[in-house]
Amino acid sequence: MPTVINLPALGESVSEGTVVRWLKAVGDTVAFEEPLLEVATDKVDTEIPSPVAGRIVEITVGEDQTVPVGAQLGLIAAEGDGSTEASPGPAPEALSAVAPEGDVKSAAAGGRPVGTFVTPLVRRLAAEHGIDLDTVEGTGMNGRVRKQDVLDVVARRQVDHRHRPDQASPTPGAVIAPASGRSPVVAAEAPEPPRLPAPVSPETPELALGEGRRERLTPRRKVIAARMVESLQTSAQLTSVVEVDVTSIYRQREAVKERFAAQHGAGLSYLPFFAKAALEGLREYPILNASIDMAAGEVIYHGHEHLAIAVDTPGGLLTPVIRNAGDLTVTGLARNIADLADRARTNRISPDELSGGTFTLTNTGSRGSLFDTPIINQPQAAILGTGAVVKRVTVIDDPELGETIAVRRMVYLALSYDHRLVDGADAARYLTWVAARLEGGSIQL
């Protein structure tokens, strides 16, 4: 009997997942725990491994489809099962059972073998533009046709039309001269003029060909978009900014960073210093490490500092959490930040590590931004943004020289806070305390 590929539980708060892409096609042989497909949830993107060694005999859920945890994604005939023996090719009746809406491409002259997987999105896009998928050169795995391959064909058609506006369309049945290395193609019935998919709403004008393109929002981007809007609609948000002289931190870091990297296997950036000062400040001003329950009319003061760190990943923003971060040293924070950031960027973070934060730190300066106005990570009361550390000529009070001009390392700290709970004076006091901590000299590693 074939083994079922199920969508596994991916965290306590995860109830469903969306198939991003299949890494294997029907008929492919796979090893035990070899990645089969990528799935996106509202927390993370992850690869689903094969539960057994064998051959894929059915793909039940196509790309861009969302299913609940536990749903069947496909079937694998395990090694030793007679059904894994290769056959000349599935019959037409079998193709309809592999995936819905004709997701498995049939064999045709000049096309790929029977069984090559094509998503419903790609098939619909090709149909809308009158494109025969058997004439499209796929750039995906095993020659699979991707959405971008179809869009490239549409773009080439438009270019050809612009360069040869006076030439009539080929007569149905006529042989079209192929590009180098390609087989001749017989023209099908004349399709409608090329057009992009219909606009998503009446207010969104349809793009003319050559002016741009449409891409479907990824599941993670949909979640990010919804939560950002929800945050702004939930709380009254303001941002306060201070400028901080971190020359002392700069000198401390320069003196130990090479030895630190060799000893701990992680770089020593400014971020763990900022994190340490910010966490110490939360204990001085606990209103910044709180949440408001409007329904109950209560303020929840958290008894711990669970620090969420904003991480820029290829798939979008993630905020993994360092639990009990207030108890850690700069060294401990540096190691935890490096570990979480690496696993978040390589899809090895667990969903449970992305929840439970009580305060968030976002390092917008890592990409050169001087400062930002970050949006609060609900239901937290505040988020601290750290800008780029830059050299700036400034006036300082020297004990011997008095006021003098010097080159200093400066940074902006931007605190966005929930004005329902935190007053501007509270925010200013917190920022001033953190700034003084950073400017005051050495912070113990």
Catalytic sites, residue numbers: 419, 423
Q: DSSP letter at 155? A: H
Distance CA(433)–CA(439), nearest Å, equals 10
How far apart, in Å, are the Cα atoms of 120 and each of 17, 21, 184? Answer: 18, 12, 27
Choose among 304, 401, 286, 308: nearest CA to 362: 308
Structural contact between residues 6 and 71, judged by C-beta atoms closer than 8 angstroms: yes
Angle (nearest 5°) at CA 344 between 342 and 350: 125
Choose among 50, 41, 34, 38: nearest CA to 10: 41
Contacts of 248 (CB under 8 A, 6+ apart): 438, 439, 440, 441, 442
Structural contact between residues 445 and 331, judged by C-beta atoms closer than 8 angstroms: yes
Angle (nearest 5°) at CA 302 between 300 and 306: 135
Structural contact between residues 414 and 363, judged by C-beta atoms closer than 8 angstroms: no
Q: DSSP letter at 81? A: -
- State how far Cα 386 lies from the chain centre: 21
| Partners of residue 386 on adjacent β-strands | 413
Distance CA(20)–CA(36), nearest Å, equals 11
Helix (H) and strand (E) counts for the chain? Answer: 8, 21
Distance CA(323)–CA(305), nearest Å, equals 7
Give the residue carrying structure tokens 């910010």: 278
| Partners of residue 311 on adjacent β-strands | 318
Choose among 272, 250, 430: nearest CA to 340: 272
Distance CA(383)–CA(335), nearest Å, equals 21
The amino acid present at 1, given as its one-letter code, is M
Distance CA(236)–CA(422), nearest Å, equals 10
Structural contact between residues 76 and 34, judged by C-beta atoms closer than 8 angstroms: no
